[in-house]
Amino acid sequence: MRRTLLCSALFALTLGAAAPPSPPLAPGEIIAAAPASAWRPIAPDNLLLMDLVNGTHVAIELAPDFAPVHVANIRTLVRAGWFDGSAVVRVQDNYVVQWAGANEAKPLPASVVAHPPAEYDRPLAGLALRPLASPDAYAARVGHVEGWPVASDGGRAWLAHCYGMVGVGRDMPPDTGSGVELYGVIGQAPRHLDRNIALVGRIVSGIEALSALPRGTGDLGFYTDPAQRLGIRRTRIAADLPVAERPSYQVMRSDSPTFAAYVEARANRRDAFFVRPAQGVDLCNAPVPVRAQP
């Protein structure tokens, strides 16, 4: 009898005991568990699709809120077939991959602004900047605006040269680049370029193929042999395709609780592998998650 009572008491204690705490989620687990409300779709008119002759498909989200004239130029160039038949002409290690080349002698479409304004920054007013708690070496304030990495001096705001960001190649000032030459960042974030070049978007798919291309052996990583250039078969704006043929991507909303948890986890890795959390995170080391739309 006493043994039965003792077993019953132990069973009751077991039922009442608190469950062991769950291990903290890693950033990837937070992304995988993110609800549908944590994501925003990329607008088809802001999705540039680039097909390379080796079968690589690249998708780029454009950022008209930060460089409206340059983005309008790029849309016009794409719709005019300007980039079709051009090529990747430069791959500089730990820096950028650049495409342009075959169409230098071709007249620009009439509606392209040949000398756009220097869209290197814009007023901070009107932007809902979600601040990053960690200090930044290049700006007084950094954070995210609608899923974009943004830096600010308190009055002006600008996109940051993080991995995968896309900018407009240009000559010496006062040239600002018309959009006929574009580059993508494939190395450690070259933040010294911030506010010196118009950033117009970011690569959301295909960056792994671009960053793996053979490095150019010429100055600044340009290919010295034209045979090394990787041809561009065609470029399109997703909005111009039939709905059934459009690829669709989503960006995590930087104003969502899920994104806040993700950034905190990037700054303080508590999952089993890590011994000491960093207690801080660089703007470009908290890349905004992007996924193909389920």
* Shared-domain flag, residues 284 and 173: no
Residues 50, 108, single domain; the answer is: yes
Same domain as 163, residue 36:
no
Q: What's the chain's average pLDDT?
A: 92
Same-domain pairing of 262 and 205: no
Q: Of 239, 260, 275, which residue sits at a domain end? A: 239
Q: Which domain holds residue 281?
A: 23-40+252-289
Higher pLDDT, 94 or 20: 94
Domain presence at residue 11: no
In a domain, 33, yes or no: yes
Task: Quick: pLDDT tens for 107-157.
Answer: 889 999 999 999 999 999 999 999 999 999 999 999 999 999 999 999 999
Tokens of 123: 């007023």
Higher pLDDT, 41 or 24: 41
Q: What mean pLDDT comes out for the span 196-217?
A: 98
Q: What is the CATH number of the domain that holds 200?
A: 2.40.100.10
Q: In this structure, is residue 139 part of a structural domain? A: no
Same domain, residue pair 163 and 263 = no
| 180 & 36 share domain | no
| pLDDT mean over 23-45 | 95
Secondary structure (DSSP) of the chain: -HHHHHHHHHHHHHHHSPPPPPPPPPHHHHHHT--GGGEEEPPGGGEEEEEETTS-EEEEEE-TTT-HHHHHHHHHHHHTTSSTT-EEEEE-TTSEEEEE-TTTTSPPPTTS-SS---TT-EESTT---EE-SS--SS-SEEEEETTEEEEE-SSEEEE---TTEEEE---STT----SSSEEEE-SS--GGGTTTS-EEEEEEE-HHHHHTSPPP-SGGGB-SSGGGPEEEEEEEEGGGS-GGG---EEEE-TTSHHHHHHHHHHHS--STT-SS--S---GGGSPPPEEE--
Instruction: Say if residue 33 is in the same domain as residue 114.
Output: no
- Which residues, at least 6 apart from 241, have a Cβ–Cβ distance to it below 8 Å? 44, 49
Distances (CA, A) of 70 to 141, 149, 177, 182, 191: 25, 19, 8, 11, 20
| Paired tokens of 256 | 């969502």
**What are the pLDDT digits (tens) for 213-255?**
999 999 999 999 999 999 999 999 999 999 999 999 999 999 9
- Spatial separation of the C-alpha atoms in residues 133 and 264, rounded to whole Å: 9
Same domain? For 165 and 285 the reply is: no
Determine, yes or no, domain membership for 268: yes
Residues 72 and 211 reside in one and the same domain: yes
Domain count, the chain: 2
Q: What is the mean pLDDT of residues 12-35?
A: 73
Q: Is 78 domain-assigned?
A: yes
Residue 5 has pLDDT above 60, yes or no: no
pLDDT digits (tens, 9 = 90+) for 49-68: 999 999 999 999 999 999 99
Q: What is the CA radius of gyration of the chain?
A: 24
260 and 115 together in one domain: no
Same domain, yes or no: 277 and 175: no
Residue with tokens 């950022």: 63
Check whether residue 226 and residue 260 sit in a common domain: no
How far apart, in whole angstroms, are the C-alpha atoms of residue 169 and residue 183?
Answer: 7
